[in-house]
Amino acid sequence: MPPTIRLASERVELRKVQDDNPPKIYTPGEVVHQGTDYLRGHGTYLDEDCVKSSVAGICQKINKWLIVRPIKKRYNGEVGDVVVGRISDLQMKRWRVDTNARLDSILLLSSVNLPTGELRRRSAEDEATMRKYLQEGDLICAEVQQVFNDHSLSLYTRSLKYGKLGQGTLVKVFPSLVKRQKTHFHDFPWGTSAILGNNGYIFIYPTSQRSGKEGDGYKEDAEETITLEERENIARVRNCIVALAHYKQMLYDTSIAVAFEESKKYEITQLLTPEVMAKIASVAQQSLLQHSRNH
């Protein structure tokens, strides 16, 4: 929900706790550099001996190159990234997966564990029963194995922590807001877990679901009962992430935990009102800045 005019004070409050020298954000058509001593890179163009920005973003200088990296963009994958995606199509010996990138990613039949867990070559029978493993609309968690020349991605789920996702909720944010960490699987003390995909897809689910998951990664848990408390915590975490993303706060386990504790002062339905969203984002930012100064 977009903020209204009365949120000006909250926006000022957010700016007060930012760094003294925040990076300048250039708008399309704005002059980035006067002169021709720098070469134009991605996100820029040359106009009358001036390098101008063609996107809204932050300027970076690499040797003699000027690059403007857009704030809002599609996901550009890197090898080793953890992603959450949705199966969009089924093809010969492969699935196509929506991972918030410019092109659909590829998940080969040879890149998944068989339901039985055995290691062998994939046969024609396995290819004929692919839809029993994964079908259109299923959510999966995977890792980027390879990046092709056209920037499409090849995924794999040959680890027990990857595979088909069960009951939960999906939140979509800008990929640049997800902080890169050693692990993107987080279990919170209030009984909720989250997978923070590098591609901007965040999956929230009850922690108890993982403890009962079989090793093949294809267990159907649609009949499993999720308690009211677990559903409320999932909804609260989801609304906290939406509030942090709305005010462009970095998303990782600590920021989500701080926002969750602050959100306990309000009802779940109140968390999507502009005033409460601004308050949660402001308190989370101040708390994280204070924590970084102390360490």
pTM of the model: 0.78
User: Higher model confidence: residue 4 or residue 97?
Assistant: 97
Q: Report the mean per-residue pLDDT for the chain.
A: 84
Does residue 19 surpass a pLDDT of 70? no
Question: Which helix (H) or strand (E) element contains residue 60?
Answer: strand 57-62
What's residue 210's pLDDT? 65
The phi, psi pair for 270, rounded to 5°, reads -80, -15
88 DSSP 8-state letter: E
Write the pLDDT tens digit of every residue in 188-200.
999 999 999 999 9
pLDDT in tens, 92-134: 889 999 999 989 999 998 888 877 666 667 778 777 788 888 8
Task: Look at residue 37 and tell me whether its pLDDT is greater than 80.
Answer: yes
Q: What is the mean pLDDT of residues 44-53?
A: 89
Provide the CA 37 distance to its chain's centre, in angstroms.
Answer: 38
- d(C-alpha 53, C-alpha 103), whole Å: 25
**Residue 4, pLDDT score:** 42
Domains and CATH numbers, the chain: 5-70 (2.40.50.100)
Identify the H or E element spanning 127. Answer: helix 124-128
What are the CB-based long-range contacts (under 8 Å, 24+) for 255-260? Answer: 255/179, 255/284, 255/288, 256/186, 256/188, 256/194, 257/188, 258/283, 258/284, 258/287, 258/288, 259/283, 259/284, 260/188, 260/190, 260/236
Q: Is the distance from CB of 28 to CB of 54 less than 8 angstroms?
A: yes
pLDDT value of residue 5: 40
Counting Cβ atoms within 10 Å, is residue 225 exposed (0-12), middle (13-18) or buried (19+)? exposed
- Identify which of 250, 156, 233 has the alpha carbon closest to the alpha carbon of residue 194: 233
Q: Is the pLDDT of residue 211 over 60?
A: no
CA dist list (Å): 284 to 10, 197, 210, 211, 252: 13, 21, 28, 30, 12
Does 21 score more than 60 pLDDT? Answer: no
